[in-house]
Amino acid sequence: MIPSQQYRFLRQSLRDGRSIKDDSSKWHRLHLDPWLLGLLIINSIIGLMAVYSATAEDMSMVLRQATSFGVGFILLFICAQIPPKVYQATSPYFYLISMVLLVLVLVIGDTRLGAKRWLTVPGIGSVQPSEFMKFAMPLMMAWYFARKPFPPKLIHILGALVIMFVPFVLVALQPDLSIGLIIPGIFVLFLSGMSWRLILGAFAALAVAAPVLWMYVLQTYQKKRVLTLFDPESDALGAGWNIIQSKIAIGSGGLMGKGYLEGTQSHLGYLPEHHTDFILSTYSEEFGFLGVMFLFALYAAIIFRCMMIGLNSFHNYGRLLASAIGLTFFFFVFLNSGMISGILPVTGDPLPLMSYGGTAVIALLAGMGIVMSVHTHR
């Protein structure tokens, strides 16, 4: 039998979702997305400016943060060169290495403020392994579901819950109930087509378990954070101090702000953690409502670009991974913004690309490099 023209065309055409269009642009050859890269660079510059102001113009801290950004962008470029199929093949190893680091924290980790969350690496300094797990979790979950039929069956969902909650328990033993650790996995579950009936059932189960979690799982300081959320003035000089001063800083910024380097709440020492968790309060005071809206528009553009890259991916692994990274980025922006404005409890999670801290910046930019890899390797 003589093969038809259509059969010969399909046999000779490019496979695995690759386009027959020859995209030979410079950016494509470098495996970079210019739109996403440009947005990240602008956000990083704003972050360095905010750190400079929040640290009372301490250039040593700015240089350390700039070094973290430099390392992060180098990793972004390296991660973008690696095809998604390599990430898919090595995802379980990233996950296992992160698990080993979490165990090492419990054994030889540094204790600070009553919690073991850091490892001291000679020549590098302190690193927080839970941030690496936030990087490894979407990789592992995307690998797990990309090999399963959609929508996932109940047995597959139970397997995914085990993947998520084992590292969550290890982090809880530090102690640190960082919900951000399992959020990427939850987003992958949602994107994989988990039925709404199961989602509503999970929320119902969580509501039933809430009293038990409150009585036997949450630490005393965590309960106090939740109670302070509803009435910060009840302990204005203690647990409620952070939220009260944060609201004062945000409100005093007004429409246009007081001007760069002109904030008083942070510079006079009223606002604690003004260069880390509460850096958005410092930024709001100096740049006002319009400045915050510009920053949020920048965040929205980054999230939208990640989602579009995920939507246009031709394979399930890339689609799940890029979209989960974008939604996780949104979650941490929402969590930190809600925390400093008093609508969510204080959690200690940084604002992406703004808060001072190297591990979170490096892990986030490496994740964005993977998103670019999904976009340019077809």
pLDDT by residue (tens digit) across 144-167?
998 888 888 888 889 999 998 888
Region of poorest pLDDT, from 92-96, 108-112, 259-263, 364-368: 108-112
Mark residue 119 as left, alpha or beta (left: phi above 0; alpha: psi -120 to 50; beta: remaining). Answer: beta
Give the tokens for residue 363: 């892990």
Name the burial class of residue 233, with classes exposed (0-12), middle (13-18) and buried (19+) by CB atoms within 10 angstroms of its CB.
exposed
Instruction: State how far Cα 235 lies from the chain centre.
Output: 31
37-51, 79-93, 98-112, 152-166: which range is least confident on average?
98-112
Phi, psi of 342 (to 5 degrees): 85, 15
Rounded to whole angstroms, the Cα distance separating 270 from 290 reads: 23
Instruction: Tell me the C-alpha distance between 151 and 32, whole Å.
Output: 32
Q: Report pLDDT for 177.
A: 62
Residues 76/365, Cβ–Cβ less than 8 Å: yes
DSSP-derived secondary structure letter, 255: T
Q: Tell me, letter by letter, the H, E, C secondary structure of 154-223.
A: HHHHHHHHHHHHHHHHHHHCCCCCCHHHCHHHHHHHHHCCCCHHHHHHHHHHHHHHHHHHHHHHCCHHHH
Residue 160 · residue 144 · CB < 8 Å: yes
Cα(110)–Cα(116) distance, integer angstroms = 5
* CA atoms of 151 and 194, how far apart (whole Å): 6
Tell me which residue has tokens 């990240």. Answer: 40
Percent of the chain with pLDDT over 70: 90
Cα dihedral value 215, 218, 224, 229, nearest 10: -100
pLDDT at 109 over 80: no
Within its chain, how far is the Cα of 369 from the centroid? 13
